[in-house]
Amino acid sequence: MSEPVVLGIESSCDETGVALVRGTTLLGDCLASSVDEHVRFGGVVPEVASRAHLEAIIPTIERACDDAGLTLADVDAVAVTAGPGLAGALMVGVSAAKAVAWALDKPLYGVNHLCAHVCADVLDHGPLPEPTMALLVSGGHTDLLIVRDIASDVTALGRTIDDAAGEAYDKVARVLGVPYPGGPHLDRLAQQGDPTAIRFPRGLTSARDMEKHRFDFSFSGLKTAVVRWVQERERDGLDVPLADVAASFSAAVADVLTRKAIDACEHHGIKDLQIGGGVTANTQLRTMAEERCAAAGISLRVPRIRLCTDNGAMVAALGAQVVARGLAPSSLDLGTDSSLPVSTVSV
Ligand SMILES: Nc1ncnc2c1ncn2[C@@H]1O[C@H](COP(=O)(O)OP(=O)(O)OP(=O)(O)O)[C@@H](O)[C@H]1O
Ligand SMILES: [Mg+2]
């Protein structure tokens, strides 16, 4: 008998994502984003996001099924992001998933959004080696994780002590007058700049910091350094070389992320590094990770860019892993948890 078809639903932030996965094969997916509605506010407005999910959820489910050439009758299990994320936004996806599971009389699996980011790559490169070191870099999180089993055993090794990497991108972009979301815009700008033009600080890399925070991150000092540098130029009546600032800022982020991730692999004797989350789309991070992993003899896995930012495919992929391990489904009483810890893979 072939592996079950899992329908995955993602609605934790501003993307309504739905996909169908069988094993590690993506059968079809569809994404509706409310990002354009948030641009004028410079960040995601939770109520606007929830309303947009409500409007998008049913058409997105229909389109994902069409894309797969299947109907809901072909679905064997339903997976949904139960947290972390915006409470109202999560509720829309969870309610829809419950309705579909109940109507089809199929099992429901509430899964962790962050573990889903890490799992996305199974759709591109097959099952994760075990153990794998995972670097999760997204809008709200920057974590180093030891993944012994993506469906049941994920341990946090380190995390940001202040801003997430994506958050730093979005905040720096705002200061530079670059539209929200800052990451992709700064990435494009950085391609025309010199990453060595300005030496911005590398958070938590001094010998003293490394004693206590070897595998933790900090991007708040970097963000402040960029803001100060720009303000001083403006005060002195000088032009702000946007491309050089973007490239030098991105270089500082990518340098710390890759340095600490490789150090974590070496310290724990782990030969495989998986990078996931929205910031993984970043050009400098991808290039630096490739070069440094190759030099350190670490095998690197990075998914295609579409699978880095929020999407339904990663949720369906994680659901398929949970189903494959025979883990218990969630109850139809499943709630949402805005701050679900990364170690809780499914609920
Ligand atoms: N090319 C890029 N370079 C740098 N950052 C990027 C790029 N593309 C997207 N980002 C950043 O990725 C973040 C969005 O990623 P993602 O969708 O995974 O985050 P999120 O879902 O909002 O947060 P979380 O997953 O922590 O709940 C934003 O901060 C965005 O600026
Ligand atoms: Mg995300």
Ligand 1 atom at shortest distance from the alpha carbon of 250:
4
Nearest to 123 by CA among 261, 6, 37: 6
Nearest CA to ligand 1 atom 5: 183
Quick check: CB of 140 below 6 Å from ligand 1?
yes
Is the whole model's pTM more than 0.75, yes or no?
A: yes
Nearest CA to ligand 1 atom 22: 139
pLDDT of residue 73: 98
What tens digit of pLDDT does each residue of 187-220 get? 999 999 999 999 999 999 999 999 999 999 999 9
Q: If phi over 0 gives left and psi between -120 and 50 gives alpha, with beta otherwise, what is residue 322? A: alpha
Peptide bond into 181 cis (omega under 30): yes
How many whole angstroms separate alpha carbon 184 and alpha carbon 136?
17
Nearest CA to ligand 1 atom 25: 138
How many whole angstroms separate alpha carbon 164 and alpha carbon 139?
6
How many whole angstroms separate alpha carbon 225 and alpha carbon 169?
13
pLDDT of residue 2: 83
Quick check: CB of 166 below 6 Å from ligand 1?
yes
Residues 18 and 8 sit within 8 Å (Cβ to Cβ): yes
Q: Tokens standing for 151?
A: 């469906």
What tens digit of pLDDT does each residue of 2-40 get? 899 999 999 999 999 999 999 999 999 999 999 888 888
Which three-class secondary structure state does DSSP give residue 8?
strand
How many whole angstroms separate alpha carbon 254 and alpha carbon 76?
40
Quick check: CB of 181 below 6 Å from ligand 1?
yes
pLDDT of residue 1: 61
Residues 219 and 275 sit within 8 Å (Cβ to Cβ): no
Ligand positioned closest to the Cα atom of 136 = 1
Question: Best mutation site among 14, 35, 309, 339 for ligand 1, i.e. most ligand atoms within 8 A of its Cβ?
Answer: 309
What tens digit of pLDDT does each residue of 59-78 get? 999 999 999 999 999 999 99
Ligand 1 atom at shortest distance from the alpha carbon of 181:
31
Nearest to 76 by CA among 52, 109, 53: 109
Question: Best mutation site among 10, 13, 189 for ligand 1, i.e. most ligand atoms within 8 A of its Cβ?
Answer: 13
Ligand 1 atom at shortest distance from the alpha carbon of 170:
31
Ligand positioned closest to the Cα atom of 308 = 1
- 43: confidence class by pLDDT, cuts 50, 70, 90: confident
